[in-house]
Amino acid sequence: MKIYVKITLWVCFILCLNSLLYSQNTNQGEIHGNIQIDAQTYQADSTINAPKVPEKMLLNSYANLVYTRGKFTAGLRYEAYMNTLLGFDARYNGTGIPYKYITYTDDNLEVTAGNFYEQFGMGLVLRTYEEKAIGYDNAFEGVRVKFMPFKGLTVKGLTGKQRNFFELGPGIVRGADADLALNDVVGFLQNSSTIINLGGSFVSKYQPDKDPLYKLPENVGAWASRLQIMRGGWSLYTEYANKINDPSADNRYIYKDGQALLVNLGYTTKGFGWILNAKRVDNMSFRSDRNATIMQLNINYIPIFTRTFTYTLLNKYPYATQANGEIGGGTELLYKFKKGTMLGGEYGTNLSLNYNRLHSLKKNNPTDTNAIGIAGTLGYQSPFFEVGDELYYENITAEINKKFSKTFTANFIYQYFAYNFDVLRGMTGHGMVYGHVGVIDAIYRFNDNHALHLDAEMLFTKQDKGNWAMLTAEYSIAPSWFFSVSDQMNYQNPESNEINHFYLGSIAFAKGGSRLQIGYGRQPEGVMCIGGVCRNVPASNGVMVSLSSTF
């Protein structure tokens, strides 16, 4: 029966597209899209513990198609995992069209039926998005209405289920959000240089209670409010969220309410910027299946304030947001030394300083038991303004970006970090990892088309796998060719048989909207633990082929 309904819906969808395409209108609309194919061969390599892969080759691929005509947009995404690349969830294995939608947009109304992504405020109670690189996709399937009754007010309402690999999760999510630009509405603010925006959201999920062990809430509500004030170079953004009892796999079935507060304060002027942020997150994991784990079925998103880098060794020990509880903050200073000054030189020098520190929450015994965190109790009490004793993460980062001449530019980074391995990877027995990372990244341009890019990175730590070094050289011939070789090595690994070279070489060719990259090399292994579930991302050795095309 179900298959017939599916087929009927598909026929309707195609007919709809067809009638749009071939109706006797002057405007025939436009089709755009993109395709991405990533494949890798795997060979067993005992020196780096790369396992044997029975398929010998694995492949992730997808294609997006978007058709726009007048007030209508329709689109779909086909995905194929045959089978998933190592490190991705094997539940993606297979093919399908998990994303398809039709949107109607008018002056003050937008209606979407099918799949969609949405975000309320910073996402503390609702944010869906996709990130192919890590296999994250929590898209809604349902309906969404955006309504702008008058200038300054946007109201959104949605209901849907969420994507769970090639299925939908069991829970139904209902949400509403309003965004009010006060300057457009309140008379005396209309010409004011102070800009004030207000917002509020309410989200509720429904999942039946079929659990024989616990009395579970079937409807779990969460709300959030936000305020943004901007004046001159100053800006303040704050968002507060609250969620009622939501026992789940993430919080180990405790019945405490959840809450989260974010505050961002910033000042910018020409050549100078300063940001201060603070956050407190307490029991705010929110999923449309209470038993989902890792990257499945998240309704909300806890923003991460620590700066993220693309450099490999700066990503060996990255901070991961702790939805179960964290308190901390950070600050960043950006300064540009002007041209012609001693530090600025001929072209000016950019300096950025960054500091972050995050701790556990202070937890006291709950009222209904004398132990913390027992399933089927309130779990714990947490005084709002007190900081827990356990350090989760700390970093100090300095970055200098300098253009020395018309042909030579370089970037220098130093970072000190303290990383709570036990908490951030969900596995005890490792303790804290303290380290220093240095990066020198230089680009030399021979002429308009030829450029050489050299990147040297060092990571020094006495814990975990010891010191790492990495060198990368890239040569590009614009606009089509790109050559790269790199090697990383944990040269002071306390386990001497784990000291290995992880070399990687690749060639890429780009033309028009298409790019083909072929590489060969080794990648080191890692163990990833999120929400109490661990996945071993094995080392690999093989040929990588990546093809992308946009049209």
Partner 1 sequence: MKNVRYIIPVLILAVLNSFMACDKIDAPYKETHNTGTDTTTYVQKVLIEDFTGHRCGNCPRAHEKLHQLITVYGDKVIGIALHSGFFATPLPPNYPADFRTTEAEELATTFGVTQWPIGMVNRTAYNGSVLLSHDAWSEAVANLINQTPKAHIAIQANYQTASSKVDASITIKLLQSIEVPLKLCVYLTEDSIISAQTDYDMNPNLIPNYVHMHVFRASFNGTWGNELSLTGKQVGDTLLRQFNLTWNAAWVKKNSHVVAFIYNANDNTIIQAEQGSIQ
Positions touching partner 1 (CB under 8 A) are 54, 89-91, 93, 147, 149-150, 153, 155, 157, 164-165, 167-170, 174, 176, 178, 202-204, 210-221, 244-245, 247-249, 253, 255, 289-294, 368, 376-378, 422, 426-429, 529, 532-536, 538
Closer residue to partner 1 (CB): 67 or 286 = 286
Shortest reach from residue 150's CB to partner 1, in Å: 6
Q: How far apart are CA 424 and CA 306, in angstroms?
A: 14
Q: What is the DSSP letter of 183?
A: H
Residue 309's identity, in one-letter code, is F
Shortest reach from residue 216's CB to partner 1, in Å: 7
Shortest reach from residue 362's CB to partner 1, in Å: 19
Q: Distances in Å between the alpha carbon of 481 and those of 28, 489, 519?
A: 37, 27, 14
Closer residue to partner 1 (CB): 227 or 452 = 227
Closer residue to partner 1 (CB): 215 or 270 = 215
Sign of CA dihedral 120, 122, 127, 133: positive
Q: Are strands 167-168 and 172-181 parallel, antiparallel or unpaired?
A: unpaired
Q: Which of 148, 217, 152 shows the shortest CA–CA distance to 181?
A: 152
Tokens representing residue 447 in the block = 């002429």
Map residue 48 onto helix, strand or coil: helix
Question: Buried b / exposed e across 371-383, counting CB within 10 Å, b at 16+?
Answer: eebbeebbbbebe
Shortest reach from residue 110's CB to partner 1, in Å: 15
Q: Find all residues with CB under 8 Å of 341, minimum gap 6, and list them.
A: none
Yes or no: say if 313 and 464 are a contact pair by the CB < 8 Å rule.
no
Closer residue to partner 1 (CB): 248 or 395 = 248
Closer residue to partner 1 (CB): 168 or 196 = 168
C-alpha distance across the termini of the chain, in Å: 37
Q: How far apart are CA 267 and CA 234, in angstroms?
A: 4
Shortest reach from residue 258's CB to partner 1, in Å: 12
Closer residue to partner 1 (CB): 77 or 243 = 243
Shortest reach from residue 283's CB to partner 1, in Å: 15
Closer residue to partner 1 (CB): 39 or 178 = 178
Closer residue to partner 1 (CB): 171 or 435 = 171
Q: Distances in Å between the alpha carbon of 451 and those of 9, 25, 346, 478, 484?
A: 52, 50, 21, 8, 12
Closer residue to partner 1 (CB): 474 or 498 = 498
Closer residue to partner 1 (CB): 463 or 536 = 536
Q: How far apart are CA 228 and CA 225, in angstroms?
A: 11
Q: How far apart are CA 64 and CA 87, in angstroms?
A: 23
Shortest reach from residue 165's CB to partner 1, in Å: 8
Q: How far apart are CA 175 and CA 161, in angstroms?
A: 12
Map residue 194 onto helix, strand or coil: strand
Yes or no: say if 286 and 251 are a contact pair by the CB < 8 Å rule.
no
Shortest reach from residue 535's CB to partner 1, in Å: 4
Tokens representing residue 393 in the block = 């993460």
542 beta partners: 521
Shortest reach from residue 82's CB to partner 1, in Å: 13
Residue 108's CB: how many other CB atoms inside 10 A?
Answer: 13
Shortest reach from residue 202's CB to partner 1, in Å: 5
Closer residue to partner 1 (CB): 477 or 533 = 533
Q: Are strands 72-81 and 94-105 parallel, antiparallel or unpaired?
A: antiparallel
Tokens representing residue 53 in the block = 């892969």
Shortest reach from residue 260's CB to partner 1, in Å: 17
